[in-house]
Amino acid sequence: MTPRKHHTARRIDVAQLALSPDLINKNPPPTDSFSWRLWLASQDIAQEALSSDYIQGIGNGNLDPNDYGIYNVHDAVYCYYAEGDYKTAEQRAKREGENAIAEFAKARYASYVSYRKQAFDSWGLQDARAVVPGPAVQGYIDTEKHVATKAPPIYLIVAMIPCDQLWPWLAGELASKNTPSNLYDFWITGNVSWHGAYVLDNFADRWNAEHPGVIDEAKALTIYRACMTSEVNCFRAATGQELLPLPVLPPF
């Protein structure tokens, strides 16, 4: 029996990436790097994620399994709608000669398809039309579509980073009090690795260094914070908490 994934396809699984070896750098990035500045400038949102009822329920082992199920069903539906965005981004990156970015988009697409198919089979969903995306999921879908279709391809990488940084940080924050008897021990132990985040961080940092002045860091931060806020809102929606307002995305 194929083991089920307990982390969302929004996180990169380094072991399954079909990427050129030179794109995979799992070392921690410098703390003064571009990617880390985005993370440090969004700690307020990370704290919102940590304090959400969903994440606290995972840490305490008392999250209603119905709420866990709600999250995962909507997560799979989000992935369905995002698949097309990653195809679009791959094609745009190729047209613009950004082959490395195209590789990331292609790998991300494959990860989403695999995760979504597994989730649909597990939950008995024939297709995404069986579920109506709520405001949190729809907000995330709209944010990524804007980035994939309007922004230069590098900003798609920026849009990927928040989840890959947020989930291991959350798991790490919960790990100190976790025990194997926790119902959600699998979530905490399955999400503590930063390797996927570091791969994205290092790629973005290297691209930024090789293309000085191309990335507008203010726009990048707005996109980054919008995606991280969407992560929080998906947690909050699963337990019926009020959603946070999304940042207004920049024009391109």
**pLDDT the model gives residue 220:** 98
Tokens of 118: 């597994």
Q: 26: pLDDT confidence band, cut at 50, 70 and 90?
A: confident
Give pTM, 2 decimals. 0.91
Can you list the domains of the chain with their CATH numbers? Answer: 28-238 (1.20.910.10)
> What 3-state class would DSSP assign to 132?
coil
> Which of 244, 215, 233, 235 lies closest to 156 in space, CA to CA?
215
* Portion of the chain with pLDDT greater than 70, in percent: 92
State pLDDT tens for residues 68-96.
999 989 888 888 888 888 899 899 999 99
Q: What is the pLDDT of residue 2?
A: 47
- Quickly list DSSP for 11-78: S--GGG----GGG---SPPPTTSHHHHHHHTTHHHHHHHHHSHHHHHHHHT---HHHHHHHHHHHHHH
| Model pLDDT for residues 141-158, shown as the tens digit of each residue | 999 999 999 999 999 989
Per residue in 54-73, pLDDT tens?
999 999 999 999 999 999 89
Provide CB contacts within 8 A for 118, sequence distance 6+. 2, 4, 5
What would the pLDDT profile of 191-213 be if each residue is shown by its tens digit?
999 988 999 899 999 999 999 99
What is the distance between the alpha carbons of residues 112 and 85, in angstroms, rounded to a whole number? 11
pLDDT of residue 1: 40
Given this model, what pLDDT does residue 20 score?
Answer: 73
Residue 179 pLDDT greater than 60, yes or no: yes
